Amino acid sequence: MAKLTQRTLEAIRPDQAGTTVRDDGGLLGRVRIKTDGSVAISFYYRYRFDGKSKDYSCGTWPSDGLSAIRMQRDIARSKVADGIDPGADKKVARHEKQEAVAAKLAEIESKRVEGLTVLDMFDAWMTDGVRRKDGNAQLKRLFVADILPGLGRVAIKAVTEHDIRAVLRALVDRGVNRTAVVARNSLTQMFAWAQKRQPWRKLMVDGNPMDLIEIDKIVSPDYDLTNQSDRILSQDEIVELRDLLRLAEDEYANALNKRVARRPLERTTQRGIWIMLSTLCRVGELSMARWEHVDLVAGEWFIPKENVKGSLADMRVYLSPFALTEFQRLYALTGHSDWCFPSYGDKHHIDTKSMTKQIGDRQAMFKKEKDGKAPAPLQKRRSDNTLVVADGRNGAWTPHDLRRTGATMMQALGVPLDTIDRCQNHVLKGSKVRRHYLHHDYASEKREAWRVLGARLFELLQPNDGASNVVLIGRAAA
């Protein structure tokens, strides 16, 4: 049989597709047409092994030259002569190569996993492990500012209780014990989530390092770990607060140059103070309130459960005349918006920490740096003591203290404790059977509780309050 030549192959035409060309030594070629219309020939060596006829691929012309194709034929023929099936041998070699590649990839992946850091765990936790109302914004700020700078680059398999304790102690040294506690709690939650999942679980070879963190041995000895403030405003302080707010308004109104005059507390926040005191609501619930949920005719404020702490249940507040008056005054300020406390541009509600910051900025004497000195004023923030009551003898007060103050006033007025709890939308303890079968809503009891509280506040504050007459407008008049 004549040997094939390059010229012979080049002379093959497309219309010969499907035909077979032959070379000596059992080498065959099958003519086919590629998608671009050119000719290609797939060569194979035909041999017999174990009584069966088999084909062994030797390459494709013209991508493989004739000499290379014949070399593959000769190698296969030599293996057959040695009693080796070249086709099976090729499969074994390919399989071994695949195993080698797989083993190499596994080694690379193992090294990657071995090097996973606290930052990698945090990113995974943010994606799949935690979802908070604010989109995890506050959690991210805590980690980015106070945790990841010290722990982020530490490998999970290498992180120890000492690394974590050092981060928490750095916070305590700065005088932010509460932040240290929150950081411990957040780290505990993250590591507990990771300990149940791979690859994190196998990296914690010595166990969960958070199990060894005793926060009471890290925070300052005088820090109250329960963080249960008992600050309430006395009746004298409530009256003084009213006078301080009015004094600031009068000073600004009479200022010759209002550009440089000290501005009073936002009027919406002033209304918010009295609403929180008279309804026992949380500052976040009030900050997110919408006018569509406030019925100024019926005197009711509906708080949807998504705005309630823990999203436990809807809440309906029956507004006392005092609280209704404050909502009417607020409506005169923000009734043009969908939100009771709109942010700039009226497109959303204010930040839930906005009122707390405004009130805290006006009690600057209670803010201290690590060295005990007063902190430098923040840009575009106030820093004075215009809302300090009782000369600061009783400490600073916060919006949450207004909630506690109102509840304490209810107690002093003889309101039953379980009714006060319901006015605060607390989850009451008791058997599941009782909660399942007893569904009285205590609406009349709560309405009366808010009424007597409002009456007492009216009695305290009304004598010197000349703005009691409010004209209903817009939706309020409807």
pLDDT tens per residue, range 53-74? 999 999 999 999 999 999 999 9
Q: Do domains 6-93 and 118-217 have the same CATH topology?
A: no
pLDDT reported for residue 366: 86
Q: At 434, is the pLDDT very low, low, confident or very high (cuts 50, 70, 90)?
A: low
Model's pTM, two decimal places? Answer: 0.62
> Is 458 a residue whose pLDDT tops 60?
yes
Rounded Cα distance between 354 and 360, Å, is 10
Structure token pair of residue 139:
């959690």
pLDDT of residue 478: 31
Q: Which of 380, 305, 313, 307 lies closest to 340 in space, CA to CA?
A: 307
pLDDT in tens, 414-432: 999 999 999 998 866 555 5
Q: CA–CA separation, 27 vs 44, rounded Å?
A: 6
Question: What is the rounded distance in angstroms from the CA atom of residue 233 to the CA atom of residue 398?
Answer: 10
pLDDT class for 475, splitting at 50, 70, 90?
A: very low
Q: Does domain 6-93 have CATH number 1.10.3720.10?
A: no
Give me the architecture of the 118-217 domain, per CATH: Orthogonal Bundle (1.10)
Q: Residue 6 pLDDT more than 50?
A: yes
Query: Which region among 132-141, 267-276, 467-476 has the lowest average model confidence (pLDDT)?
Result: 467-476
Report the pLDDT value the prediction gives residue 67, as an integer from 0 to 100: 92
β pairing state of 52-61 and 39-49: antiparallel
298 pLDDT above the threshold of 80: yes
The sign of the CA dihedral 291, 296, 298, 300 is: positive
23-27, 135-139, 343-347, 468-472: least confidently modelled range: 468-472
Residue 159's SS3 state is coil
Query: How is the chain split into domains, by residue range?
Result: 6-93, 118-217, 235-476
What pLDDT is stored for residue 470 in this prediction?
40
Query: Would you state the structure tokens that stand for residue 36, as one six-digit string?
Result: 């671009």
What is the distance between the alpha carbons of residues 385 and 259, in angstroms, rounded to a whole number? 20
Q: Considering only CA atoms, which of 382, 356, 359 is closest in space to residue 261?
A: 382
Question: Are the C-beta atoms of residues 370 and 173 closer than 8 Å to each other?
Answer: yes
Strands 294-295 and 39-49 come out as: unpaired
**Tokens of residue 428, six digits:** 């009451």
| Average pLDDT for 368-372 | 58
Which pLDDT band, with edges at 50, 70 and 90, does 336 fall under?
A: very high
| Fold of the domain spanning 235-476 | hpI Integrase; Chain A (1.10.443)
